[in-house]
Amino acid sequence: MKLWMSGEVDADIGDGEHVARNAIEPIVNGCLDKISFLEGFEKWAFISIILSDKFLPGFPEVAKISSKGKVLEFRFHIPHEIFKQAGSEMKMSMLFDALNRSVDMMSSLKVSSESQDKFRAALKRAREYLLAS
């Protein structure tokens, strides 16, 4: 299982989302590395949508499993103005919150509660590692 992250981001955000994402993705993947999932997932695809109200209507939120059942895909909104003004730790925290929300949505995709607990544990370890104060 590997987390893959990307973003649909307004230009005025700069590289803040990219920097936060690049810090989070390898740490979460390290936490997921030795975990097996009954469902046989291969990829957890997460795309953050950080767009101003002008562009947001064209980018609906998505939570789905690929037709072959190997990829969990999520596209979630993150508040543009709050993210834009946030410091680097807050940006990572907002991405972690959105990733946790994707885990919460997994029950609607019939992902087992056992697998959801494994995802939550991996996110918790990664958050603690990156945002320990």
Which pLDDT tens digits describe the chain residue by residue (133 residues)?
999 999 999 999 989 999 999 999 999 999 999 898 888 889 999 999 999 888 888 899 999 999 888 999 999 999 999 999 999 999 999 999 999 999 999 999 989 999 999 999 999 999 999 997 5
Q: Which residues of 7-46 are buried (b: 16+ CB within 10 A; e: fewer)?
A: bbbbeebeebbeebbebbbebbbebbeeeebebebeebbb
Sequence spans of domains, the chain: 2-131
Is the whole-model pTM more than 0.85? Answer: yes
